[in-house]
């Protein structure tokens, strides 16, 4: 299996880098598994006190790998994929050390779930965000677990439904991003400052402090993840979603637009 996620440790920092630019770091089964493995390695390393989650290429994460999804049989596989995503997001939230997301590119759909699961996020000027699920006949079911506690209610009501793009300043203002940097250099400087501050903490202090901020979120995973997994799988195998995904892959309008607009997500 080719490496889709790079993992390296530099002192007290483990750096996980999404490195699948050929498909815009889409959440394929392989990428999700490798990201999960990286988190497990970081948690098992007594020297690591912070994880930095970044990306190569102009897209942080494009969301689900629709070409992979379109080629799969419905039913149990769709449920398995939804459960993989729920497990990955929960692992990010439950990691006993801070996770700093670093974004300077496009973030779509499930990629926002990763951002929501991070403790802190630095976004550069090239960052754009959009929740485009409704445009292909599905919904941000699983990722709502990490997004709804972070975003303001008004922002969630807008961006979950419109699918419109918004930038780093808006993402900061609605609670999705911690720092909106003005340049690539400022991104690096902001990440360095956060890492320097975080790594002054002891492993026990960091774990206990993070647990205070994530207890309610983990409880919502345990209460709601299975039902949302079922919902997500049912939507993905529906006739409407199949049409939406095929329209996206074929770069044509879906049937419900009646040929009046594009299918860009």
Domain 1-182+202-265 has CATH 3.90.226.10: yes
* CA–CA separation, 168 and 129 (whole Å): 8
What is the spatial distance between Cα 29 and Cα 63, in angstroms, rounded to a whole number?
12
Weakly modelled stretches of the chain, pLDDT under 70: 1, 68-75, 259-265
User: In this predicted structure, what is the pLDDT of residue 80?
Assistant: 86
Q: Write down the pLDDT at residue 249.
A: 86
With 0-12 CB in 10 A as exposed, 13-18 as middle and 19+ as buried, what is 21?
Answer: middle
What is the per-residue pLDDT for 245? 87
Q: Which pLDDT belongs to residue 258?
A: 81
CA distances from 181 to 36, 50, 104, 189, 224 (A): 28, 21, 9, 9, 34
H-helix or E-strand spanning residue 67: helix 66-70
Instruction: Return the pLDDT at 75.
Output: 65
pLDDT at position 50 is: 98
Distance CA 105, CA 86 (A): 24
Query: Residue 219: its pLDDT value, please?
Result: 97
Structure tokens at 35: 């990201």
The pLDDT, as a whole number, for residue 96 is 97
Identify the burial level of 154 via C-beta atoms within 10 angstroms of its C-beta, where 0-12 means exposed, 13-18 middle and 19 or more buried.
exposed
Q: CB-based contacts of 253: which residues, under 8 Å, 6+ apart? A: 247, 259, 260, 261, 262, 263
Tell me 95's DSSP state.
-
Residue ranges of domains in the chain: 1-182+202-265
């Amino acid at each position: 299996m080719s490496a889709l996620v790079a993992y390296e440790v530099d002192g007290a920092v483990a750096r996980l880098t999404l490195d699948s630019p050929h498909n815009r770091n889409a959440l394929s089964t392989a990428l999700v598994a490798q990201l999960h493995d990286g988190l497990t390695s970081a948690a098992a390393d007594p020297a690591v006190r912070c994880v930095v989650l970044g990306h190569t290429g102009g897209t942080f994460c494009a969301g689900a790998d629709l070409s992979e999804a379109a080629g799969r049989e419905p039913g149990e596989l769709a449920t398995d994929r939804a459960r993989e995503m729920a497990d990955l997001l929960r692992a990010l939230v439950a990691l006993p050390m801070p996770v700093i997301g670093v974004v300077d590119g496009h973030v779509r759909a499930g990629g926002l779930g990763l951002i929501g699961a991070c403790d802190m996020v630095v976004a550069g000027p090239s960052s754009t965000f959009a929740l485009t699920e409704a445009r292909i006949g599905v919904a941000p079911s699983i990722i709502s677990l990490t997004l709804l506690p972070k975003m303001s209610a008004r922002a969630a009501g807008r961006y979950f439904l419109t699918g419109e793009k918004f930038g780093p300043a808006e993402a900061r203002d609605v609670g999705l991003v911690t720092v909106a940097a003005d340049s690539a250099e400022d991104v690096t400087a902001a990440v360095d400052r956060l890492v320097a501050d975080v790594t002054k903490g002891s492993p026990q202090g960091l774990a206990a402090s993070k647990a205070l901020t994530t207890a309610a979120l983990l409880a919502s995973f345990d209460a709601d993840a299975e039902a949302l997994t079922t919902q997500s799988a049912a939507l993905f195998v529906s006739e409407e979603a199949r049409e939406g995904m095929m329209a996206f892959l074929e770069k044509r309008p879906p049937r419900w637009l009646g040929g009046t607009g594009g299918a860009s997500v």
